[in-house]
C-alpha cells in the first residue's frame, strides 16, 4: 500500500552513470521510504559506464507510460539530459535548486529531472525530487509553448 504524500500510481524511473551512483542510491532510499515504487535502471556500482545506456532506459519507460517520472543523475546533468531529450514526448530538465525544479514542472511540464551530482548536495537533490514530483503543470499559456517544442 502506498503511504506516500505524493499521489502517484506509477513507479518513478531512476538512472545514473558512475558519477551519479551515490545520489541515485540516496534518492532511491528516500522515495522508497516515502512509500513510492521505483524502477532502478542502473548503473548499480561506481564502475565507469556510458551514461546514454541508462538515460535511454529511463526515457523509454517514461515515454511508454510505464513510469510517472524519471530522475537521472550524472556529473553535470548535461549528458543524461541530452540523451533523454532525444525521445519523443520527453522533456528532461537539468535542475540545480528547488525553485528551478518547481518551474521545470509547473511551466515546462518536465517529466524527467536531471541532477548534476557534482554540483549539488544530496540534501538539495532530495528536495528537488520532492518538489518536482509534487508540482503540477500549470497548463494555459505554458501548454501552448510546450506544444511548440517538438520538431515534427
Q: For residue 100, count other CB atoms closer than 10 A to its CB.
A: 15
Please indicate whether residue 56 is annotated as part of the active site: no
Distance CA 42, CA 58 (A): 9
Which is the catalytic residue, given 16, 74, 95, 114? 74
Contact 16, 46 (CB under 8 A): no
Which is the catalytic residue, given 18, 30, 107, 142? 107
Q: Return the HEC string of 82-114.
A: HHHCCCCCCCEEECCCHHHHHHHHHCCCCCEEE
Report phi then psi at 47, rounded to 5.
-65, 140
SS3 149: coil
Please indicate whether residue 107 is annotated as part of the active site: yes
Which active-site residues does the annotation give? 74, 107
Amino acid at each position: 500500500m502506498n503511504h506516500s504524500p505524493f499521489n502517484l500510481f506509477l513507479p518513478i524511473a531512476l538512472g545514473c552513470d558512475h558519477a551519479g551512483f551515490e545520489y541515485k542510491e540516496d534518492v532511491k532510499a528516500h522515495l522508497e521510504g516515502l512509500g513510492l515504487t521505483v524502477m532502478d535502471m542502473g548503473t548499480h556500482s561506481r564502475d565507469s559506464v556510458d551514461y546514454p545506456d541508462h538515460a535511454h532506459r529511463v526515457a523509454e519507460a517514461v515515454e511508454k507510460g510505464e513510469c510517472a517520472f524519471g530522475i537521472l543523475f550524472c556529473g553535470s546533468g548535461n549528458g543524461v539530459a541530452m540523451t533523454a531529450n532525444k525521445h519523443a514526448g520527453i522533456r528532461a530538465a537539468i535542475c540545480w535548486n528547488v525553485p528551478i525544479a518547481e518551474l521545470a514542472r509547473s511551466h515546462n511540464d518536465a517529466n524527467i529531472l536531471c541532477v548534476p551530482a557534482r554540483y549539488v548536495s544530496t540534501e538539495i537533490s532530495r528536495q528537488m525530487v520532492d518538489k518536482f514530483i509534487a508540482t503540477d503543470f500549470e497548463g494555459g499559456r505554458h501548454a501552448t509553448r510546450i506544444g511548440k517544442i517538438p520538431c515534427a
